[in-house]
Amino acid sequence: MQVTHDRAPARRRPGEPLVARLACLAVQPVLARVVRRIAARHPSLFARLGPHQATDFLIDPVELPFALHLRPDPEALVFRAVPRDAAPQAGATIRGKFMLLLELVDAEEDGDAAFFSRDLEVTGDTEAVVRLRNALDDMDGSLAEETAAMFGPPGRAILAQLRRGYLTETERQEAP
Amino acid sequence: MSLAELICPAGTPAALRTAVDAGADAVYCGFQDATNARNFPGLNFTPDELQDAVVYAHMRGAKVLLALNTYPPAGRVDLWREAADAGARIGVDAFIVADMGVADYIARTHPQVRLHLSVQAAASSPEAIRYYCDNFGVKRVVLPRILTIAEIRELRKEIPCEIETFIFGNHGLMVEGRCSLTNYLTGQSTNMDGVCSPASDVEYVRGADGSLSSQLAGFTIDRFGADEKAGYPTICKGRYAAPHRPEGYYAFEEPVSLNLSRLLPELIEAGVHAFKIEGRQRSKSYVRNVVAAFRAAVDDIRAGREANIADLVALTEGQKQTQGAFETKKWR
């Protein structure tokens, strides 16, 4: 299963910075809750990160109005939404469509294959990205489903809708 | 008909469980150090993790093979001996070795554990393979990916051990165990440090035109156009300009993966005992999809049915696949 996605948009639409800031404010409580829960349920994740627990990762879902800043330090976890024009200097950046990134975390897609197809873009410290990938890949269960379950039936319904949309897009791209 | 065991990769405990659940007959893995050829950051097993993994696999009828397939530099052999001792204590089903000193130590110290000869030993002649069998009790050889099926069939008649061949994944054709290209640029050795193109020396640079440059230790080894598929950042698969090819060309190998799904019946008929899937550095998704596809194919063949294997091209390097030398020496 492979999808060819558009590249990251080079131009910003009018009003986008304001939308980005409002979106960040809206999702931040969710992100904080998600990352605390993951850290509590998957403590072994941090050992595989080694020295890169202190690295700042910028995860850039290209179609969303904001990026995600992750610093996987178990003593001082950071996972927050940031407007792209206010993103911190990152040690490593991972860029792709939101659902592709989510499917990679859940091991539903293969990171190397997404890199080969150019759907996934990595810049900065490659070792940091490799460590993060391996740490996440050693997690059992579905991060997406765990997160959705935190929000009950509405959360599960949203995830199911996102996955249907991703599948539809995949099938459309693969059609002859 | 040979057993056609399916030997599957695992870089993490979760990947090992995935491989077993997807139908692996055996899973190969390594410790988090230079004793194996996939010594990548954040990958591999601690001794405690391997212990749990062996229990998980054995309870489900699968074997665990421990890769100790790098070459100890002088003065550092203790790391390999300690790894072998740990593997024997944990109860792995076989060691995969390349170095004669490591093979000798295991043969003398842990004679109850099977020895498999790694592809890193690059043993492809009957004489070389017999030497390992006679002197260290090697029970299986993993053949380099340079032989045709006809050559494997002939080889089988002249050696006293089982044959394992790669059927999917990396199409590494450099003389394995001897390649020093990474060492030349980074100072780290594929064969002694266990890492080809260490991630700490790799950088991807995005061009304003959408292109992607792969750099190793500051040297650009390939540049992919905006719509071009990419490959691994290894020197052997780099694209270089030369006086006779100023446009740039793949001087050694191309970004392409081996896929022998169509040749499985012939390989079985030639006497291959085990099929190996490459990719300990790959994700659970890769492991699940590739192992399940080949499990179904091998089961079909064993049952006398025609194997209808799933399309795996999306998981291949550069999204290209080849049957390589197994089909013909002229594959390029």
The answer to whether the CB atoms of B204 and A122 lie below 8 A apart is: yes
Out of B12, B199, B200, name the one closest to residue A137 (CB).
B12
Average pLDDT over residues B210-219: 95
pLDDT for A12 equals: 58
The answer to whether the CB atoms of A116 and B231 lie below 8 A apart is: yes
Q: Quick one: closest CA in A to B210, which residue?
A: A7
Q: What share of chain A is helix, strand, coil (3-state, %, to 5)?
A: 55, 15, 30
The answer to whether the CB atoms of B212 and A121 lie below 8 A apart is: yes
pLDDT for A9 equals: 43
Are residue B268 and residue B242 in the same domain, yes or no?
Answer: no
Are residue B152 and residue B194 in the same domain, yes or no?
Answer: no
The answer to whether the CB atoms of A137 and B284 lie below 8 A apart is: yes
Q: Is the pLDDT of residue A153 over 70?
A: yes
Q: Is the pLDDT of residue A103 over 50?
A: yes
Are residue B137 and residue B33 in the same domain, yes or no?
Answer: yes
Q: Is the pLDDT of residue B224 over 60?
A: yes
Are residue B146 and residue B15 in the same domain, yes or no?
Answer: yes
In a domain? residue B221: yes
Out of B42, B212, B283, name the one closest to residue A107 (CB).
B283
Are residue B221 and residue B85 in the same domain, yes or no?
Answer: no
Contacting residues of A for B314, CB less than 8 Å apart: 1-2, 113, 117
The chain-wide mean pLDDT, for chain B, equals 94
Q: Is the pLDDT of residue A3 over 60?
A: no
Local structure of residue B123 (DSSP, 8 states): -
Q: Quick one: closest CA in A to B208, which residue?
A: A10
Dihedral angle sign, alpha carbons of residues A6, A8, A14, A16: positive
pLDDT tens for each residue of B7-17 = 999 999 999 99
Element (H, E) at B251: none
Other CB atoms within a 10 A radius of the CB of residue A137 amount to 27
Are residue B75 and residue B102 in the same domain, yes or no?
Answer: yes
Local structure of residue A6 (DSSP, 8 states): P
**Which structural domains are found in chain A, ordered by start?**
16-141 (3.30.1050.10)
Out of A2, A109, A126, name the one closest to residue B202 (CB).
A126
Out of A109, A132, A134, name the one closest to residue B12 (CB).
A134
B214 bridge partner residues: B204, B222
pLDDT tens for each residue of B280-323 = 999 999 999 999 999 999 999 989 998 888 889 989 988 889 99
Lowest mean pLDDT among A15-29, A62-76, B71-85: A15-29
Where are any strands of DSSP class E within B251-330? 257-259, 274-277, 321-322
B68 bridge partner residues: B97
Give the end of a domain, one of B230, B250, B270.
B250
Q: Is the pLDDT of residue A82 over 80?
A: yes
pLDDT for B99 equals: 98
Q: Is the pLDDT of residue B161 over 90?
A: yes
pLDDT for B331 equals: 73
Domain containing B292 equals 5-173+256-327
In a domain? residue B178: no
Q: How many CB pairs under 8 A join A and B?
A: 107
Are residue B200 and residue B148 in the same domain, yes or no?
Answer: no
Contacting residues of B for A134, CB less than 8 Å apart: 11-12, 40-43
Instruction: Please indicate if any CB of chain B lies within 8 Å of the CB of A92.
Output: no
Instruction: Please indicate if any CB of chain B lies within 8 Å of the CB of A2.
Output: yes
CA distance B63 to chain A (A): 20
Average pLDDT over residues A28-39: 86
Are residue B92 and residue B71 in the same domain, yes or no?
Answer: yes
Dihedral angle sign, alpha carbons of residues B175, B63, B276, B50: negative
In a domain? residue B98: yes
Are residue B31 and residue B133 in the same domain, yes or no?
Answer: yes
Give the pLDDT band of residue A114 (cuts 50, 70, 90): very high
Are residue B10 and residue B28 in the same domain, yes or no?
Answer: yes
Q: Is the pLDDT of residue A83 over 70?
A: yes
Give the end of a domain, one of B250, B279, B301.
B250
Are residue B125 and residue B246 in the same domain, yes or no?
Answer: no
Q: Quick one: closest CA in A to B205, which residue?
A: A123
Instruction: Please indicate if any CB of chain B lies within 8 Å of the CB of A109.
Output: yes
Local structure of residue A55 (DSSP, 8 states): P
Give the pLDDT band of residue A2 (cuts 50, 70, 90): very low
Which of B20, B197, B204 to mutate to probe the A interface, most A CBs <10 Å?
B204
The answer to whether the CB atoms of B204 and A112 lie below 8 A apart is: no
CA B81 centroid distance within chain: 22
Give the residue with greater pLDDT, B315 vs A17.
B315
Q: Is the pLDDT of residue B329 over 90?
A: no
Q: Is the pLDDT of residue A1 over 80?
A: no
Average pLDDT over residues B259-266: 94
ipTM of this complex prediction, to 2 decimal places: 0.94
Average pLDDT over residues A105-134: 94
Lowest mean pLDDT among B18-32, B56-70, B147-161, B175-189: B175-189
Q: Quick one: closest CA in B to A116, which residue?
A: B230
* Residues on chain B bordering chain A, Cβ-to-Cβ distance under 8 angstroms: 11-15, 17-18, 40-43, 198-200, 202-206, 210, 212, 224, 226-232, 255, 281-286, 288-289, 314-319
Spatial CB neighbours of B84, under 8 Å, sequence gap ≥ 6: B68, B95, B102, B105, B106, B109, B110
Q: Contact, B124 vs B159, CB < 8 A? A: no
In a domain? residue B30: yes
Q: Quick one: closest CA in B to A94, which residue?
A: B204
pLDDT for A176 equals: 56
Q: Is the pLDDT of residue B1 over 80?
A: no
pLDDT for A161 equals: 84
pLDDT for A135 equals: 95
Are residue B210 and residue B267 in the same domain, yes or no?
Answer: no
Residue type, B209: D
CA B260 vs CA A74, B166, B311, B327: distances in Å: 44, 8, 12, 9
pLDDT tens for each residue of B54-83 = 999 999 999 999 999 999 999 999 999 999
